[in-house]
Chain A
Amino acid sequence: MQVFVKKRMVYVFAFLVLFLAALSYPVAVKAEAGNYYLSMGEYLSGGMRITSLNGKYFAMMQTDGNFVIYQSDTQKALWHTNTYGGNYTSYRAMMQTDGNFVVYGIKNGAMTALWNAGTHVYGSGTYRLELGDDSVLRVKKNGNTVWNSPNAPINSSGWSYMFTEADNRYISSGYKLSERPDHYGIDIISTNGYTYIYGDAIRNVSAGNVVVSQALNATAGNYVVVETNTIDTNTNKKIKVRYLHMKDSPSVTIGQIAQGTIVGYVGNTGDVSPKPTSSNPYNGTHLHFDVNNQGKNSGISSADALNPQKFFPGITFLGKTSTVD
C-alpha cells in the first residue's frame, strides 16, 4: 500500500513537472495580420512576421537568419540585426522570459544566439516586443521602453518627456536665442517658479547607455550623459543627451538605461546663475538638458547641437522657447 502511494506521488510530481515545463516552453506565434507584438516566451520562426497596428511596417524573421524591419508598401528595409549568412538550418527571434530579445540560429537541435538586445539586465518583470506605428521595434518592461531599434525619425523618435509634473515646462533659457546664442540646450524650470522644480525626479528620455555619470563637476555639477539608441540620419551617430546641475549624485551609473529610469533630481550644482547663497539656497535651480548628434560628452559647439524642443512634439513649452534648428 505504502509503495503504491509513493508511486502515485511520483506520477503526480512528474505530471506537474511536465505540465509546468509545457507552460514555460516557447510558443511559436502565428503570422496573423494585426499581431504587432510578442509576449514573453513567444517567438517567430523563419518566414514569420509581426506587423504594426497601422499596417505600415512589419518585422520579419527571415529564413536567411536576418531579422528585418520593413516598410510595407515599398518593402524598404529600415533596420536589421545583420545576422544573415550563417550555416544554420533554421532561425528564431524570441522574446524570452528573462526579458531578453534574441535571434537564434539552430542546427542539429542546438541553438546559438546570434544577436540580442541585452534587455535581460533589467531584471524580472513583464516584457513585450512591440512594433510601433512609427516603425520602431521596442522591448518594453511593464509598459516602459528598455530598448528600441535605432531607426526612429528624430521628430517621432518616441522620446518621453523627462518630467511627469505638468508644470515643469517653462524654459528659462532657450536654445540658441539671440540673448544667449551659445546656449545649446534648454534650461527648464516650473511655470510656478524655479523653487517648485527643486528635487523633482528627472526621467531618462530614451533608452540607451549611460556613458558619463559624475558628481560635483566644476561646470556641469552632478550630471549624466546618455548615448541613446536613436541614430541621427545626418551624422549616422547615436544621439547623446545630457542632464546637468542635478541636486545629488546621479541615481544611475554607467551601463544600459531604460527610458523612464530616474537619472537624478533637479538641483543647482555646478556653474549656475544666479548662484545659490546661504540666504537663498535654491538660487539657480533648473535642469539644463541638451542634445547632440556628434557623439560628444562635453564641449558641444553650435554645429553639434540639436534643438531639444523638437524631440518632444507633444509638449507645449512656455517661456523662452526656440524654433531654431
Chain B
Amino acid sequence: MKIKLFLFTFVFLMILSACKSNNIQSDISSEGVNSKVFVMQNELPVGGDARKEMCTKYKTIFYGADTFLAEIVGKEKFNEWLSEFENGRNKWECNIYNAVRELNISKDDFIKANKGVSYTSKQIDAIFSDDEDEINRAFVNDFALMVDDKIYTPDWLAVHTMSDYEKNGIDSGKLKEYLTKINTEELYREKLSIEANLLSKKISTNTNVSKNSYYEIDFYNIPDFAHQLVPDDEYEKWVGNFIVENNDNVRNMSEFNIVNFVREFKIKKSDFIKADKDKIYSKEQIDAIFSGSDSEINDAFISEERESSFDTSSETSPVQTASTDAATSSEIHNETSVTD
C-alpha cells in the first residue's frame, strides 16, 4: 500500500513538473521571440537634443502641461485633455497657456499648486494675462533675441537676411550683442549665418567665425540678392523647414546652404550671376555651386582653417570623405554625414 502510494505520488509529481516546464517553454516562444522583435537596429533611438531646446521661442517649460494641474482638475479631466494631443492635435499647442484656459484653472489654484517651485510669479502673471507681449517677456528663451517684446529665435535669424531684420526693426547693434550671447557650440551654425548677414553689409569684420565649419561662411548663408530671386511666400515656406518651433520634421541646419537653395529652387546660373551685384561669390564658387559636384564645392568653399588642420591625404579628411560620398548622393552632404 505504502509502495503504491509512493509510486502514485512520484508519478503525479513527474507529470506536474513536466507541465511546468512546458509552460516555461511556451512563454519563451510566444513572448521572448515573437512579440519582442529586434536585436540592435541600424538607427539607434536618440533624443534630448540640446540645440532644439535653444531654438524655441519660449523656455522649455512653456510647452507642456504640469502634472500639478491634475491635482486641481482631477486626473480624469487632465488625462482627457492630454489625449487630444495623442489623437492628432498639434503637440505644440500642449502648453501651459492653453492648459490653464481649456481646463478652466483659476490663478489662485495655480499659485497654490505651483508651491513657488516650477513657475515664477512673473510667469504666472503672464500666463493669466492674455497679453502676448507679457508672455514673451516672462518666458523668452535665454538663447532668443527679443526686440520690442517680439521674439526672434536663433534659427529664424539664421535663415533670414539683413532686409528681413530691418523690416522687423532688428538693428545691427542688437545683433552684434546677440552674437556674443549665442556663442555656444550648439548654435555655431546659426551664429555663422547671422555673421554672414552682417558681413554682407560690411557691419561685421569678424573673420574668425568659420573655425567650427568645414566651409566658409558664405556657403551657409542665403544673401539678400538670392532671396529676391524667389517669391517671398515660397522662400518662407522653404526656410520654415529649418525652424524648430511648430515643426515635427525639422531639417538639419547644415542643409540650409546656398547649394541646396539653388538646387531646390532650380535657380539659373545666369540669373544668379546677374543678381550678385556685390560679387559676394567668386567665379570659382559660382561654378562650384552650379557644378553638381561635391568635390568642386569642397574646393571652392572649404574653410582655410579646416584645410590646414587636416591632412587631405589622410583617410579621416572631411574633404576626401565628402568627395567619396558625392558619388552616391544626389544631395550635398551635411556635416554630420561628412564626419560619420
Q: Which residues of A contact B114 (CB under 8 A)?
A: 254
Q: Does B68 lie within 8 Å of A253, measured CB to CB?
A: yes
B324 at the interface (CB under 8 A from A): no
Q: Does B59 lie within 8 Å of A218, measured CB to CB?
A: no
Q: Which residues of B contact A42 (CB under 8 A)?
A: none
In Å, the complex CA distance between A91 and B95 comes to: 50
A195 at the interface (CB under 8 A from B): yes
- Closest B residue to A288 by beta carbon equals B48
B128 at the interface (CB under 8 A from A): no
B284 at the interface (CB under 8 A from A): no
Interface hit among B50-58, B217-225, B269-277, B293-301: B50-58
Q: Does B38 lie within 8 Å of A209, measured CB to CB?
A: no
Q: Which residues of B contact A299 (CB under 8 A)?
A: 50, 53-54, 59-60, 141-143
Q: Does A301 lie within 8 Å of B50, measured CB to CB?
A: yes
CB-contact partner of B340 in A173, A179, A213, under 8 A: A179
- Closest B residue to A187 by beta carbon equals B46
Q: Which residues of A contact B79 (CB under 8 A)?
A: 249
In Å, the complex CA distance between A284 and B46 comes to: 6
- Closest A residue to B249 by beta carbon equals A275
Q: Does B91 lie within 8 Å of A301, measured CB to CB?
A: no
B19 at the interface (CB under 8 A from A): no
Q: Does B43 lie within 8 Å of A274, measured CB to CB?
A: yes
Within the complex, what minimum Cβ distance (angstroms) separates A160 from chain B?
A: 21
Q: Does B94 lie within 8 Å of A216, measured CB to CB?
A: yes
Q: Does B184 lie within 8 Å of A302, measured CB to CB?
A: yes
B12 at the interface (CB under 8 A from A): no
Q: Which residues of A contact B51 (CB under 8 A)?
A: 182
Q: Which of B46, B336, B339 has the most CB of A within 10 A?
A: B46
CB-contact partner of A302 in B36, B56, B185, under 8 A: B185
Q: Considering the complex, which residues of chain A in the window 206-263 have a beta carbon less than 8 Å from any beta carbon of chain B?
A: 209, 211-221, 223, 244-245, 249-250, 252-255
9 tightest A-B CB contacts, nearest first: A217-B64, A298-B60, A288-B48, A214-B64, A172-B44, A193-B38, A173-B46, A272-B47, A218-B63
Which positions in A face B, CB cutoff 8 Å? 172-173, 178-185, 187, 189, 192-196, 209, 211-221, 223, 244-245, 249-250, 252-255, 268, 270-275, 283-286, 288, 290, 297-303, 319
